[in-house]
Structure 1
Amino acid sequence: MQFKNFIKSKGVLIAFLAIIIYGISIFFIYNSGYSGMPKQVNHLPITIVNQDQKAQNLTQKLKSAVPFKDVKVKTNLNDAKRDFKSQKSYMVINIPSNFSSRVKHNQKAKLNFYINDSVQSTVASSMNQAASRISSNIDKNITVQKSKAILIQSQMKKLNVAIQTKQNEMKQEVAQQKAQIAALPVAQQQIAAQQLQQKVNDAQKQSQKEIQSKKNQINQKVNQVYTPVENSISTNIYHENKIKTGLNRMLAPFFANLAIYLGSMLGMLLLYSVYAKYAKIIGRVMSFIDLELTIFLLSIIGSLIVSGVIALQVGNLNSGFVNLFINHAILAFGAYNINAIAILLLGQMGTGINIFLTMLQVVAGAGMVPVQAMNGFFKFAHNIAPMYYGIQSDFSIMYGGQLLSNLWEPAIILCIGLIVVNLIIIIFRKNQPMTDFSSLG
């Protein structure tokens, strides 16, 4: 009978509404706010500055290769940098004036990228990724071109030696024939000299044709050798647990758990008033039992409604709606209880500590930064953060990943541990600090 009165209290109703309203509204705000990223990144303007007149072909290739729709081509680097500083352009690709010359002579050629890091992290990240991809592709192409140039130069040296030998032989032959002409009668020398000159001219023309033919053959053979190399330069990318385009989808597990956690934090503040009122009537332990039963019911019902709304916005779930609902119920139950610790100790003033703990869990939850990249404190803190297990489970449920049992088991153990801690607190904390919220009962 006492539980019936407890659960009918105004504070319980407000706590129930809090988890639903906060859960849905906060998730909707973040989900809709980030839905334009990164699919809108390709609309950001960039600039290609070509200072090398011989690199027009490279400029066109770059323009067609970059994943951006608004690409300006200029020749003045200072002008481009002015646009860059005023954020009229988000990346500048500079082809220096000596680029083609250095490539041709097998020297190190530089292609310069200018990226502004003082912008939104998603924009900076997208620009860095684009620059890395472009640089990698150009490096491969230039490597092939340099290798071709080296092989062609080697073959040309051999050809030049052969040409020089043949020219020396021809000079010797001409000298011998001139000596023979000099021994002829004067009347025959002019005719013989004209015939020799014609023969030399014909030989030179034939030699030039042969030289050009051999040069063409060298180029053709080198191209044939490197055609398989050029064609083999490709990358296969296989995506596991692929997420549809949209930063909102990438961050959906984080936003969903943060929304539920915030709703639970506010709900616990309200539930404490009801607990404190009934602790005076039925005793601390019985009121605590009623409190935990109420938390259990709110976690089930609230998570069912919030998860339904989240599932509609996210779309197809990898592991189904039931798992999403169970995960959010575990999270909500753990969130209520971890927020209860400071409030049971300090009353409503404990909310200040809970806000601080929420900020810690935003990091420890590993929704934005992986555990491997955290410092030692957060690597430890994630083990006792309900949001961590909730976020990682949501990644698996929404998009696929690790086994849920590996996450749910420690999450449930954590919930049990939190109940024990709260039970110890109410046993030794005989008086409940109260701000005047007793009217909520």
Structure 2
Amino acid sequence: MKSFLKHKGIASGIFMMVFYQVVMIVIFMSGYSAIPKNVDQLTVSIVNEDAQYGDEFVKQMQEQLPLKVIMDDSLDHAKKQLDDRSSHLLIHIPADFSQKLSEQGEQAKLEFFINQSNPASVVSTVQSVADQISNQMSSQLLAQSTQGALQSLNVPEEQSKQMTEAIQNKFAASIVMTNQPPAGMHNQMAPMFLTMSIYAAAMIYSMMSIGALNELKSKLGKWKAFMSLQGVNVLLSLILPLIGISIYFAVQGYGFETFVHMWLTQSLEMFAAIEFTSIFCILLGQAGMLVNLPILLSQTVSNGAVMPQDMMPGFFKAVSHVTPMFYNVQLVYNNLFGGGRTGYYVLGLALVAVGALVINTVIHAIKGGKSEAVQEAAEPSGTQQPPAAQPIMM
């Protein structure tokens, strides 16, 4: 037993077990503590077209809602903001809201719009808020004020209650769900798991591929080996994502166009992930995994599949801007369920890939040059050609 405990392999294994526990718990505890603490960072857009009761309703919302309230004059613009995930709940007060409340036989409707192409935590939160508004803030407040007015006119209490119930039936909340995913938790979690499967595979591959680069550059030459590896990376990024996508589409069928979009998106993510994780492997060798692992765990918080960017603590929000997983998760949401700003997310993912490739090129140039210089300086003098033998004088 002592022999095993003294072995370097066992010591390294113990270090990794401790390291993984510490890093994972610290990252997850600090990241997911934002739920529900930062729920007030979610945004609700209100489009008020009713100048009577609508204005009073808006004041109540601004005072009582646990979310950030922004006013929008255009329903179409507000719907686009919702589709782009810039807002998380849209409340529309129609122009005839007060009129229908006052007219007999009419029913006033308050419209709520929820974009379901979002993390499940966001959808459930804003749906709960919509239910709270419709049940407690709108119907109940209106009923109480009406009952008080009737009682002040000396209407009998029993009769005022009956009239209040009739008025309550005049109000209805219409909740419109947009970009609805197919049924099943596997569909709701698909953006996260499809993205993580690509990234984790790319991270492991990058460590092995950089090892191969270090072996072959002495044979092929520094730059020929590097450029050949980039060609292999592009080829693998185009082919290998088809495996995971095909498995998912076999379980949950989508159209051919969606399949192509997913293939291109996952291919771009794989290339970006290979280049991004290669930075630390080129720089640190196998020890680069000690950097890549915490970055992977950080992206499970910052990828936007569990909480939106608005709710993330500052560190994780910064990570989401400079790593591949956040952009790809949003693209998978758009491809599978619908959503806006696709061009922005494609550009962000492409910039991460290009930026990582440039960094790898610079590191390879500097580090490769130094290693070759050291190798040349270390060459034994015995490898030089011996001087020509002098003829022996007789």
Tell me, yes or no, if structure 1 residue 137 matches structure 2 residue 135.
yes
Q: Which residue of 2 aligns with 1:178?
A: none
Tell me, yes or no, if structure 1 residue 422 matches structure 2 residue 366.
no
Q: Which residue of 2 aligns with 1:242?
A: 180
Q: Is the 1:148–1:223 Cα contact (8 Å) retained in structure 2? A: no
**What is the aligned counterpart of 1:219 among 128, 148, 159?**
159
Pairwise mapping of residues 12-411 of structure 1 onto structure 2 (< 5 A)? 133=131, 137=135, 143=141, 146=144, 150=148, 153-154=151-152, 156=154, 219=159, 223=162, 227=166, 229-316=167-254, 320-411=258-349
Q: Which residue of 2 aligns with 1:188?
A: none
Counterpart code for 2:239: I
Change (3 A) 1:151 1:256: same
Counterpart code for 2:135: N
Change (3 A) 1:318 1:131: farther
Q: Deviation of residue 391 (structure 1)?
A: 0.7
SS of match in other structure, 2:178: coil
What are the superposed Cα offsets for residues 238-261 of structure 1, whole Å, 9 maximum, x if unpaired?
112112343332221011101110
Q: Is the 1:318–1:399 Cα contact (8 Å) retained in structure 2? A: no
Residue identity over aligned pairs, in percent, reads: 22
SS of match in other structure, 2:175: coil
Change (3 A) 1:406 1:314: farther
Q: Is the 1:319–1:400 Cα contact (8 Å) retained in structure 2? A: no
Q: Deviation of residue 268 (structure 1)?
A: 1.2
TM-score (norm 2): 0.56
Change (3 A) 1:223 1:289: same
Distance between the aligned counterparts of 2:126 and 2:343, measured in 1?
Answer: 37
Change (3 A) 1:292 1:230: same
Distance between the aligned counterparts of 1:342 and 1:395, measured in 2?
Answer: 29
Change (3 A) 1:318 1:251: farther
Distance between the aligned counterparts of 2:283 and 2:138, measured in 1?
Answer: 64
Q: Is the 2:143–2:164 Cα contact (8 Å) retained in structure 1? A: no
Distance between the aligned counterparts of 1:290 and 1:335, measured in 2?
Answer: 18
Give structure 1 stretches of 5+ with no counterpart.
1-120, 158-214, 433-441
Q: Is the 1:333–1:415 Cα contact (8 Å) retained in structure 2? A: yes
Higher relative contact order (CA 8 A, sep 6+): 1
Give structure 2 stretches of 5+ with no counterpart.
1-118, 373-394
Q: Which residue of 1 aligns with 2:377?
A: none
TM-score (norm 1): 0.50
What are the superposed Cα offsets for residues 398-423 of structure 1, whole Å, 9 maximum, x if unpaired?
00101432221232222122111111
Distance between the aligned counterparts of 2:197 and 2:228, measured in 1?
Answer: 25
Change (3 A) 1:400 1:126: closer
Distance between the aligned counterparts of 2:126 and 2:267, measured in 1?
Answer: 39
Q: Deviation of residue 314 (structure 1)?
A: 3.7
Q: Which residue of 2 aligns with 1:20?
A: none
Change (3 A) 1:317 1:237: farther
Distance between the aligned counterparts of 2:184 and 2:255, measured in 1?
Answer: 16
Distance between the aligned counterparts of 1:147 and 1:345, measured in 2?
Answer: 69
Change (3 A) 1:131 1:344: closer
Distance between the aligned counterparts of 2:330 and 2:271, measured in 1?
Answer: 17
What are the superposed Cα offsets for residues 95-122 of structure 1, whole Å, 9 maximum, x if unpaired?
xxxxxxxxxxxxxxxxxxxxxxxxxx98
Q: Is the 2:199–2:325 Cα contact (8 Å) retained in structure 1? A: yes
Q: Is the 1:265–1:335 Cα contact (8 Å) retained in structure 2? A: yes
Which stretch of structure 1 is more off in the superposition, 239-248 or 353-362? 239-248
What are the superposed Cα offsets for residues 4-47 of structure 1, whole Å, 9 maximum, x if unpaired?
xxxxxxxxxxxxxxxxxxxxxxxxxxxxxxxxxxxxxxxxxxxx
Q: Deviation of residue 294 (structure 1)?
A: 1.0
Distance between the aligned counterparts of 1:401 and 1:131, measured in 2?
Answer: 22
Distance between the aligned counterparts of 2:125 and 2:314, measured in 1?
Answer: 31
Counterpart code for 2:168: E
Counterpart code for 2:159: N
Distance between the aligned counterparts of 1:319 and 1:403, measured in 2?
Answer: 18
SS of match in other structure, 1:315: coil
Distance between the aligned counterparts of 1:241 and 1:411, measured in 2?
Answer: 23
Q: Is the 2:299–2:320 Cα contact (8 Å) retained in structure 1? A: yes
Q: Which residue of 2 aligns with 1:26?
A: none
Distance between the aligned counterparts of 2:126 and 2:338, measured in 1?
Answer: 27
Distance between the aligned counterparts of 1:395 and 1:127, measured in 2?
Answer: 18
Equivalent residue pairs, number: 252
Q: Is the 1:317–1:397 Cα contact (8 Å) retained in structure 2? A: no
What are the superposed Cα offsets for residues 169-201 of structure 1, whole Å, 9 maximum, x if unpaired?
xxxxxxxxxxxxxxxxxxxxxxxxxxxxxxxxx
